[in-house]
Amino acid sequence: MRDLLRYATWLAIVVAMFVLIAQPVGHAARFSLSIIVIALLGAIMLLKLDGFWRHIFLALASVVILQYAYWRTTSTLPPLEDLYSFIPGVILYAAEMYCILMLGISLFVVADPIDRPRAPQLADDESPTVDVFIPTYNEDREILALTVAAARAMDYPSDKFTVYLLDDGGTDQKRNADDPVAAAQAKERAAILKDLCSDLGAVYMTRQENVHAKAGNLNAALWRTHADLVVVFDADHAPERNFLRETVGYFLEDERLFLVQTPHFFSNPDPIERNLGTFGRMPSENEMFYGKIQKGLDRWNASFFCGSAAVLRREALEEVGGFSGITITEDCETALELHARGWNSLYIDKPLISGLQPETFASFVGQRSRWCQGMVQILMLKNPLFKRGLSLPQRLSYISSSLFWFFPFVRAVFFVAPLLFILFDMKIFVASFEDFFAYTVMYLIVGEMVRSYLYGSVRWPWISELYEYVQSVYLFQAIISVLLKPKSPTFKVTAKGVSLKQDRLSELSLPYFIIFGILCFTLFVAAYRYNTEPEISSLLLIVGAWNWMNLMIAGCALGVVTERSQDLAGVELPLRTNVELQFGETVLRGAITEASAKGAKLIPAQGASRMLRKGEYGRLQLLNVSSTMLVTSLPVSIAGGAPDEDGAIALRFDAEPYHFPIIAELLMHDMSVVREQRALRQRPKSMIAGSIRILRWAIMCPLAAIGVALGGKPADKAEPQRLKPLAGAALAAAPVRHQEAGE
């Protein structure tokens, strides 16, 4: 009843106001109505009202949005007899209506998000059995060792869960390949991973043939195991120790629950964050999806499987024949099939894993191409609008997730449209300056207010435009290929664990330089025409400003494709862990504040730094470590001499695979510091501050790109990017003491 009242209020306001919108009044009255709405929206935002007021806010915003759509439809299209302008004008109109349609669906999806309570805590004797699947194809042993060790260390009855490493790089097909080199590599990989599983207490499993990619790999294990629940972790997704305690309990509350999905949290920057130097300060791109959209989808029982960091019910998977593999996004496709059969899903917004993002721009584009093609495949092959068994909200939720990936077409239209007027004099948008201000400017202001109200804490101004633009250049072709041959895309593993030894331009950078050059030329032409054609100066001012905004985004993109060097450390997290460091008979105490699988930063107790020498070897002992752990200390060496500016000393781990349980204990025992850091960076940034940042990037990034292209140093060199420990994060270290033999 509460939900019905909220949406009825929203609908009533929109219907009442639409009647006013359809009245034949001038732009002055429209402008006045928009100002009133903007004032009301501003008051709701200033007072930070939510709940029922959230629907009032969205209803009021819908008034201005519909007002613009009505005016755009009835008053701005070029005349049909002028086909030269009419055809591109209709294309631009269609792109704008797509945006308004997507906005309307997304507002419905996120209008009433859910925050789930903590999972019921189960006694050992009532805990269901769990099979943990870690599919792998070509990942490094070190990445796999951390994930397997962390999975084995999860807090759960040891006789009720088993960890399986599913090796698709060592299948019978690969080990018996005709190419002797490839066959030898596959055999060597299989032997290495078998030893790794033996050292860490996991089960090595492979299959005969590499069919149906990841879905086939998971299904091969599904039919050979028997636990009640199945957990899936990507090869680079190391889970927190209490992952199962925070998820499994929900399944005993709902016998029709098939999925508990948790966020994907990444400890390294994606190429945009790294190359622009925003990691650790700005919310990551996926925080909008996992922090807002998935919670909105959860309201409609439409949160879907994201391929990893999730728990699924075996009974449900078996009902649909296992993980779906018709498309290359087996995760969302599997969830769609199960939702259509009446199964339920659940999402909890609590990061419980730490993974790796693609390090290079090419890998990033490859990953997004796969996501894009898979979601378009779902739309074409299993259209959610016509899928039997789904509720109307579920249909809208899935169609929103699928249609979103057509943004490359819209971005292309919005980038080309100003060029058509400035360079070719096409009148694709018929409007006076006064009407443009009364309708278009008000619509843009309200759109920005909606974005800030709903997503301001997880998405800064202009960042969505930048992410969409840098993807669009290559996703455009990917979408076309699916539209022509829906079943043609093949699953490609995203490359991770790549180090960059020096700054360089991405191998995909050329189109971005060409587009930037075209936009610069167009801006010059617009300025020239503004001074020589005063009769259209007002239109040139508007369209020129549009082109200038596109140019800013294109300039920032040159910074994105200028790859910054990095020394890969894998999963690297801020911590709060007290340790002891032993050198011969000397024992030092300190606090680890940052750590990776390769090393750590130690803040020693008073005076400890004077006793340490670069290259000196010792052993690191965690305090309060589990008594059941076979290996309880880790060999380390001093990686640097003097402490850094924070007083920390760099340690290098000299670890073998059997040491990874203690590394996993160090890194993944407790991610509370990570969650605190994530919460702190989720803060809004004003449109003014966001625009200033974009303007600075737009100026500096092209200079940096040109510098790298000419073989010089990039301007505005970014700092090494990592998650910083919180202020005061280190626990108080005990005083240094000398330990006598036998003490």
Q: CA 537 to CA 518: how far, in whole Å? A: 21
- The reply to whether 234 belongs to the active site is no
Q: CA 724 to CA 572: how far, in whole Å? A: 10
| Among 147, 199, 209, residue whose Cα is nearest residue 177 | 209
| Among 322, 168, 305, residue whose Cα is nearest residue 235 | 168
Q: CA 93 to CA 90: how far, in whole Å? A: 5
Instruction: Check: CB of residue 606 under 8 Å from CB of residue 735.
Output: yes
For residue 604, list its beta bridge partners.
590
Q: CA 160 to CA 592: how far, in whole Å? A: 32
- The reply to whether 125 belongs to the active site is no
Instruction: Check: CB of residue 251 under 8 Å from CB of residue 313.
Output: yes
Q: CA 16 to CA 32: how far, in whole Å? A: 17
Instruction: Check: CB of residue 602 under 8 Å from CB of residue 730.
Output: no
Query: Which secondary-structure segment (H or E) carries 59?
Result: helix 52-75
For residue 164, list its beta bridge partners.
133, 203
β 203-205/257-261 pair status: unpaired
Q: CA 333 to CA 323: how far, in whole Å? A: 8
Q: Which two tokens stand for residue 216?
A: 């086939």
3-state SS, residue 640: coil
3-state SS, residue 34: helix
Provide CB contacts within 8 A for 391, sequence distance 6+. 300, 301
Rounded to 5°, angle at Cα 651 from 646 and 656? 155
| Among 720, 518, 692, residue whose Cα is nearest residue 601 | 720
β 599-604/649-653 pair status: antiparallel
Instruction: Check: CB of residue 604 under 8 Å from CB of residue 649.
Output: yes
Q: CA 553 to CA 143: how far, in whole Å? A: 35
Selected catalytic residue, list 112, 131, 167, 168:
168
Q: What is the largest CA-CA distance in the chain?
A: 98
Angle of the 2-21 helix axis to the 52-75 helix axis, nearest 10: 30
Say how many C-beta atoms besides its own lie within 10 A of residue 689's C-beta.
12
Q: For the chain, how far is it from start to end, CA to CA, in angstroms?
A: 69
Selected catalytic residue, list 131, 234, 298, 331:
331
Q: Cα-Cα-Cα-Cα dihedral of 472, 474, 476, 478, to 10°?
A: -130
- Which amino acid is located at 349 in the chain? D
Q: Report, in this order, helix, strand and coil percent for the chain, each rounded to 5.
A: 50, 15, 35
Query: How many alpha carbons fall within 13 Å on the CB side of residue 735?
Result: 2
Where in 46-117 does DSSP place strands (E)? none
Query: Which secondary-structure segment (H or E) carries 589?
Result: strand 586-596
Catalytic residues: 168, 331
